[in-house]
Amino acid sequence: GDKLAYFITNANIYYVFDSELAEWKEYDFGFVSNTSGFNNFWAADIYAGAIIQRNGYDYAKNITYSLVTHSFADLDQGGWYYYPDHIMHGGYVASWSDAATTSKFFGYCAATNEFKSITFPNNFSVYQFGSQLPYTSFEIVEDIFIFTVGYAVGDTQNRDVFVETYSTKTGNWYSYQYSFDPQDYGLPGWRAGGSFSLGIYASTGAPIYGLWKFYSTTNTYIGEIPDIFGNGLFICGGKVAVGTGDHNLWFHNFETGYTKHKYFAPNDDIYNLPQLGAENYCSVFRVNTTSDTMRVFFFNGNTDNLQSVETYKLPNSSATATPRVYGYVTGGPNNEVIFYSEQKDSLFIYQATEAYGGLSANNFLIAHTLSSSFTLFDASTCQIFEKNFPIGSSNAIGGSLVFVRSGNMELTAYSGITKNWTTQQTYQVINAMHVGDEIAVGASVNFAKYWAYSAYDDSYYELEPEGSIVSPFSMAGGKTAIVIRTTKVYAFSPGDVSPVIEDDNTRVNSYSLSQNYPNPFNPSTTIKWQQPETGNVTLKIYDLLGRELTTLINEELIAGKHETTFDASRFSSGIYFYQIKVKNYIKTKKMLLIK
């Protein structure tokens, strides 16, 4: 994960490296009986999870580690959850059922490192059961922490609905109960956004669709939204949602409570198609079946603004989007591409030189790619750039940069930080490139040279590494990159000159014992030495009278540089000696313990 790593052994030990503490944590979860062989292990944003499934209707075992509490939690009678289905941030919800009388849901919150469960009946008295529908766009919703489930008892004419919603922000379940009107039908199929959920039912009278909405900020159910006429469809984003009827559109901002209805005269030749819900914007198509056009609507949660544009009809194509930018290729006689900026709440129709093409996006940058050219849209400034060379790969776009091969021996980059384009002549054919968030690395065809690019200062940094290549030969992360060779590892960080890490074991050609550091010390100190040959090493501690006190090392070690720590907590202040023996080499040095 971003801040932790884990592994689990067949000795039932769960190890987690907590980067905030810079420590390994371990937990012995013991023997798990009746296991089915199906397990799920994963690393999420602020926790690590493990689920060990048991056979039949037996409960699963749930184990977690929280980066908030820096501790493990163990639920022996838990439920099944498969990551990344129903992704939530800061926790998850697992489920269990005996298929006869009972269903249970287990919510986990990393902030509290606790599990809390609810129990539903699962028998003949349950009229209908409605669990939350899968997220439609979790890739572009940045904070998802709501899960809703409900059931109804009674019959068609007389029903009571019980609803439970779990929030990974608080670690609690929230309950709501209401009764159906006899003319209503359909238990709510709960749609979930990042911070809210919608329960949808229909009435035979109009027909009219109604919604009950749960919003996480207040952790309450806040009522009904009427007037969704006809065949309702809904898509949820992080804080906004869009719903459609046959002849109307509904947009809602759950953070501000703002609702926008847009009504149209009945027309059976036009239908509405909800298209996408992002963290803070959503879109819908209004498609005319008798013409070659459609109208595209965007609702922005930052401004509560609704805007639209008419374009060529291609409703079956898919959008490419992030929380910051949206792109859609409509094609048609004008080669139209739609670009939308969430930050600027701006909508553009761009006319490409060819029909169709592809889209790739990262953060606030999106590129429309053709066979021999590409167009870049920067959503932070709403600038459009046209380039007469191909982008090559969707991996050319990082979080704040674009890094492409503009010729066989030329690199071109765009910085989303400085908003500049820069070009570097390499005079060698470029073979491979790796792109991170703010940096990128390109390599020559024989890997004899590398060029690191920094989006912070629009600069290229050339490297001629020593040694032979290994696999992987280079990597670029968010803000750092490395080039790996047989004898050295080169690290690059924008704005810094990083020291080269050499394979010191290849440089040792003599014996030596270094002075301990620190010296004087209290209570521990480090002792370093080097040996040009593999051999048995003994390192012992003596007092001022020459009496042996302890042995720190007594084992065979390979040639190279080594070190160990001497902890003198149980010794009194004074002068001590440490002596090393490796084959015919013997060396003694003095150190001072002051308490």
pLDDT at residue 226, rounded to an integer? 55
Write down all domains in the chain, each with its CATH number in brackets. 4-121 (no CATH), 389-504 (2.130.10.10), 512-593 (2.60.40.1930)
Identify whether the C-beta of residue 397 lies closer than 8 Å to the C-beta of residue 362. Answer: yes
Say if residues 280 and 238 touch (Cβ distance below 8 Å): yes
Question: What pLDDT sits at residue 499?
Answer: 47
- Whether 119 and 97 have beta carbons less than 8 Å apart is answered as no
* Distance between CA atoms of residues 325 and 402, nearest Å: 15
Distances (CA, A) of 95 to 144, 146, 498, 563: 18, 15, 49, 51
Cross-sheet strand order for the sheet of 248-253: 233-236, 240-244, 248-253, 259-263
Predicted local confidence at residue 497, as pLDDT: 43
- β strands within 270-341, DSSP E: 270-277, 281-288, 293-300, 305-312, 320-321, 325-331, 336-341
Residue ranges of the chain with per-residue pLDDT less than 50: 207, 496-501, 504-506
Q: List Cα–Cα distances, 12 to 30, 31, 419, in angstroms.
A: 6, 7, 52
Distance CA 345, CA 301 (A): 9
How many residues belong to the chain? 595
Tokens found for residue 583: 């084959």
> Distance between CA atoms of 54 and 261, rounded to whole angstroms?
49
> Residue-wise over 165-185: b if at least 16 C-beta within 10 A, else e?
bbbbbbbebbebebebeeebe
Angle at 580 between CA 577 and CA 582, to 5 degrees: 170
Coil vs helix vs strand at 437: coil
pLDDT the model gives residue 383? 96
**3-state class (DSSP) for residue 139:** helix
CA–CA–CA angle 531, 533, 536 (5° rounding):
80
Asked if 408 and 430 count as a contact pair (C-beta separation under 8 A), the reply is yes
Which of 65, 50, 64 shows the shortest CA–CA distance to 9?
A: 50
477-485 contacts, C-beta under 8 A, 24 or more apart = 477/436, 477/437, 478/399, 478/436, 478/437, 478/438, 479/436, 479/437, 479/438, 479/439, 480/436, 480/439, 481/434, 481/436, 481/439, 481/440, 481/441, 481/452, 483/441, 483/450
pTM of the shown model: 0.77
- Per-residue pLDDT at 47: 96
* Predicted local confidence at residue 133, as pLDDT: 53
Q: What is the helix (H) or strand (E) element at residue 365, kind and residue range?
A: strand 365-369
pLDDT, one tens digit per residue, over 241-300 is 888 877 888 898 988 889 898 888 888 888 888 888 899 999 999 998 898 889 999 999
CA-nearest of 483, 504, 501, 484 to 492 is 483
